[in-house]
Structure 1
Amino acid sequence: MRLLASVRVGRVVFTQWALPAIRPVNHLVVDGLVIFCTHSASAVATQVTAGPTVVAYEADDIDEERRTGWSVVVTGLAVGVDAGELADRYRGLLRPWVGRGDQVVAVQPRLVTGFRMVRSDDTGQSASTVDVRLSP
């Protein structure tokens, strides 16, 4: 979660028409939750307002030049944040690049997995290694 909190943009993965759908969003990590905003008419917001929705959230930081980096995936339940002051606080902290989302979504982690890409030897080749697998 510390790595996830170090970047601002990730991708939310959810089911749309029985198929996986992916959307890029800005996020925060607050009190162990992944928080993002979306427009109330968006596909993910429509599902979340109908009830808790299973999603995956992925973010990464990759250095193409050095061939190193990391990726974190949070799988859990997405719920709408309807509390006025709390939702307003999250909206104020997020920095979306397109408009302002009116639906605040919180992902409650159930499984957090990730990996680091590290240099494996002096040849400059990189290798993937499992870094963390937590189940809260």
Structure 2
Amino acid sequence: MAEKTDELSALAGQAAGLETAQEQAAEGQGGAPAAPVQTNAQILAGAFHLGREVSCAVLGLQSPRMVLDDPTLQQLGDVWGAVADKRGWDISAILGDYAAEVAAVMLSITVGVKLMKAAGAELDARERKPDPAPSPDAVGNVG
């Protein structure tokens, strides 16, 4: 149970980090354009990391963490961040103030799928439970 709580806490922490970065970027939109709080590469690496953690939690697998280790996710963020920079895309502006909503959806999907799997496992366990054998008194005795 502690592992599930840790996974959800980690996801919530990542979501809060994305939300804070987006809020800080939005605060600078009043006058002159503010420098991004996070680079495109950092935002994308964080999004890839969040996606990996959600997939591990939802699927109950560890292989995504083995294949998509932190350095690999950082490389993905760097190369796709370079593409975004080349094209003039500001990922924080594209996300706007929706970081909280995106984070809430990701966490809700994770919790919902875990609940669905747990309920399904409980129902399967109930169905597999053997019926108790009838007592010897109940078999063949007619009052």
Same fold by TM-score, threshold 0.5 exceeded?
no
Q: Relative to total residues, which structure has the larger helix share, 1 or 2?
A: 2
Bigger Rg, structure 1 or 2: 2
Q: Relative to total residues, which structure has the larger strand share, 1 or 2?
A: 1
Which has the bigger relative contact order, CA under 8 A and spacing at least 6? 2
Scaled by the length of structure 1, what TM-score is found? 0.25
Scaled by the length of structure 2, what TM-score is found? 0.24
